[in-house]
A and B are shown apart, each in its own frame.
Chain A
Amino acid sequence: MLDTFREVHTPEGVALRLPAAGPVPRALAWLIDLGIRFGVLGASSALLGVLGNAGIGVYLILVFVMLWLYPVVFEAMFDGQTPGKRAMELRVVSADGAPVGWLASFVRNLLRTVDALPLGYGFGLAASLWDPFGRRLGDMVAGTLVVHAPRLRMTSTPPVAGMHAPAHPLRPEEQLAVIAFAERAAQLTPERQEELADIAEPATGARGELGVMRLLGISNWLLGR
């Protein structure tokens, strides 16, 4: 399958599927973070400006913290997500799928220096386009990976609507398609349901609304309810 899943086999013998994220959502997440950082610095400069010279010192320390420590602290403490990554539903994980640690996060963010060369994250972009898992140089050295981490939207269980045996045996992939239809049916308009069910006419022996009912019935039959 042509996809950017990285499969990592855990010691328990199952595959973790890590959907690697490409440069565009990551750049957007970075821009969001940049906005937040500038926002914080702008607000604090207005406040600290009142304090005069001491304020300048605190402000410069804050600049350092925002530049170097902000991503590390967020990634290490909040499950690999800076606010920007959270907004874009991204997450930094270790290359073996485990949560990212302090050291790895520190290294990958130190090496932004190199990724940002020659300008505008040029090296980072080139590396992430070349790498099959979209890693920038810092990710390679730190042994980390940025993955999509969508909040799970549970597909509803299909409605129970009687059982119906198909007119002829279905091949495995056809069975999967029928079950997938039943699980997604609630999200489709009735017209679209009928349209799709009509394709399966050879198995259901009916069209239109009856076809939909029978197809749902076949799915129940396959699932064993």
Chain B
Amino acid sequence: MKQAHFVARHEREWEQFAQWLDARAGSPRSARAARAWRGMRDEDMPARYRRLCQQLALARRRNYSPVVTARLQELMQRGHNALYRPAPPRWRRALEFLLADFPRLVRAQRGCLWASAGLFVVSTVAMYLAVRWRPELIHSLFDPQQLAQFESMYDPAAPDARLGRDSGSDLAMFGYYIANNIGIGFRTFASGLLAGVGSLLVLVFNGVIFGAVAGHLQGIGHGGPFWRFVAGHSAPELSAIVVAGAAGLRLGLDLVAPGRRSRLDALVEGGKVGGKLCLGVFAMLLFAAFVEAFWSSIGSIPGPVKFAVGGLLWALVLGWLGFAGRGRSVTAEPSPLPPGRQRGSAA
């Protein structure tokens, strides 16, 4: 068939398809609202799209000119994008993720999680003991100015002062904790791509700093205010860093030992898991920043209340990570489609 005949025969279809794409493909939500549409019906779209694909294949096979093939190619790509775009995020889904999927995903990374927690806890405790045993060790980590700053932040002689900060209002510190801590959480995961070494270093480094500061302040008698400050937000913050570290270690393992998958496939899988874990870490650190800025810093609340709240938060976080989402499967995701084409929502 000559090109001109081919175009004349199918042109109307292509125009209808293009009109449908212009009017309806952009946003399914507004498309549902607009009932006055008189063009191609929505339910015909997949069939028309497949027809268009066949016409494009024919046009290419017959060496038709770019005027036809480029036009069909463009229509086809737009149709493909409309047909295979990911579903829009839903609030309900976000809740399900936080209450069930995320804890489940964390438990699924059991090995990396223990390794990550082990690295952090061991380096913290070791450094704490080391500084208690040899107080001068602290000077190899911090210069005197920094130390003076820490000491003034947790000075038991100034009971009315805000704990854990030398200046700044609650809101300013909330912003600071968000910008700083969530960034650290994300970097802990991402640096795992360096064969896991990055995450390992971040975990150990944070453990060493935390342990050293704790040991030093305990040693000079500033331990009370320090623990009162830390108790509240320690549960969400420390466990979030451990989870982020586990995600990073998992990514590193996928790079180093992909098993029977190709290295790239393993990384893509690790990336998906890590990305989801980071979403949860984001939520945890957001909560931690809130607690740290608006609760932990209140100096006038007595120690027992602080520790009780801290313990409660630890119980809640560990209970949530350990038990949420067990039992009934909220969102089992059976995927009959081959990998790589699992998403798909018709407009």
A and B: bona fide binding partners: yes
Seen from chain A, the residues whose Cβ lies within 8 Å of a Cβ on chain B are 10-14, 16-17, 53-54, 56-61, 63-64, 67-68, 79, 95-99, 101-104, 106-107, 110-114, 117, 137, 140-143, 152, 154-155, 157-158, 172, 175-176, 179-180, 183, 222-225
Who on chain A is nearest to B189 by CB? A110
Say yes or no: B168 contacts A53, CB within 8 Å: yes
Taking the closest CB of chain B, its distance from the CB of A214, in whole angstroms, is 18
Say yes or no: B172 contacts A60, CB within 8 Å: yes
A-B contact pairs, 26 of them (CB 8 A): A10-B53, A10-B80, A12-B49, A13-B53, A14-B54, A53-B168, A54-B172, A56-B176, A60-B179, A63-B179, A64-B179, A64-B183, A97-B80, A98-B86, A102-B86, A102-B89, A107-B271, A110-B186, A110-B278, A113-B190, A114-B198, A141-B193, A143-B268, A155-B67, A158-B67, A224-B1
**In the complex, chain B residues whose CB is within 8 Å of the CB of A112:** 190
A179 to B3, CA, bound (A): 11
Q: Give the one of A12, A61, A225 with max B CB within 10 A.
A: A12
Say yes or no: A54 contacts B191, CB within 8 Å: no
Seen from chain B, the residues whose Cβ lies within 8 Å of a Cβ on chain A are 1-5, 49-50, 53-54, 56-57, 60, 63, 65-67, 70-71, 73-74, 76-77, 80-81, 84-86, 89, 168-176, 178-179, 182-183, 186-187, 189-191, 193-194, 198, 251, 264, 267-268, 270-272, 274-276, 278-279, 340-341, 343
**In the complex, chain B residues whose CB is within 8 Å of the CB of A225:** 4
Name the prevailing secondary structure of the A interface residues: helix
Say yes or no: B84 contacts A14, CB within 8 Å: no
Say yes or no: B84 contacts A99, CB within 8 Å: yes
**In the complex, chain B residues whose CB is within 8 Å of the CB of A113:** 186-187, 190-191
Say yes or no: B272 contacts A16, CB within 8 Å: no
Cβ-defined partner of B175 (8 Å) among A56, A68, A99, A102: A56
A59 to B171, CA, bound (A): 10
